[in-house]
Structure 1
């Protein structure tokens, strides 16, 4: 049975989707925009601050099932401008150590709310 996962420390879904779904021992985390749940606003206007907030939102969702970033096995990073890849990657590297998850990164035409980045993740918990 699928279980809906929600964290008050990450922004609420802004459409007909869940922050995350747990299916058996796998967590599928929807794309996290860089919105600070306490303010409802972007954490900043640059790729580094937005990447950090998107990853913090993923951490918050994982915490709801007593998981952490070491449980992440796959991410997808969507960026407004692929030229921001280096700066995004610099922040991203602070969240994953040891065996890093598989990852894909893309430039997209636009993101919701005109964000610079959106990150989704898949985690496997013990």
Structure 2
């Protein structure tokens, strides 16, 4: 079964995409930037702060799917500048602990205006 997941506590997409899709026990969360869900503005120029906001938003979407950040099994991280990775890693360690989710990091030219990072998330709900 495939089901759309959405919450007003996450950033409402302006493009024709879902916040997340449940496929069986997996939750696939569309790429998230560090936007405040209410203002839709990027919260800071700092990658660490953007990372923290991204995972606040991801946590809200996961909660709407009956999951938590503990269910995250994979993150794909897109950076506009790979030199920002240490700031990202510092914030990431505040959010996740071992065993860390599988992760890939990719350098790209640009994301949305003001965004320095975008993260796609896959979670697995073991409670279903």
Give the TM-score range, shorter chain.
over 0.9
2:105 is matched with 105
1:85 is matched with 85
2:3 is matched with 3
Cα shift at 1:98: 2.4
Alignment partner of 1:52: what SS?
helix
Cα shift at 1:29: 0.4
1:117 is matched with 117
Structure 2 distance, partners of 1:13, 1:37, is 10
Answer yes or no: is the 8 Å Cα contact 2:9–2:60 preserved in 1: yes
Cα shift at 1:97: 1.2
Determine if the alignment matches structure 1 residue 74 to structure 2 residue 65.
Answer: no
Per-residue CA deviations over 1:65-90 (Å, capped at 9, x if unaligned) read: 22111100000011110000000010
Unaligned runs of 5+ in 2: none
Cα shift at 1:34: 0.7
Cα shift at 1:27: 0.2
Alignment partner of 2:58: what SS?
helix
Cα shift at 1:113: 2.5
1:62 is matched with 62
- What is the TM-score with the length of structure 1 in the denominator? 0.95
1:50 is matched with 50
Unaligned runs of 5+ in 1: none
Alignment partner of 2:57: what SS?
helix
Structure 1 distance, partners of 2:27, 2:85, is 26
In the TM superposition, structure 1's runs of 4+ consecutive aligned residues that sit over 2 Å from their partners are none
- What is the TM-score with the length of structure 2 in the denominator? 0.94
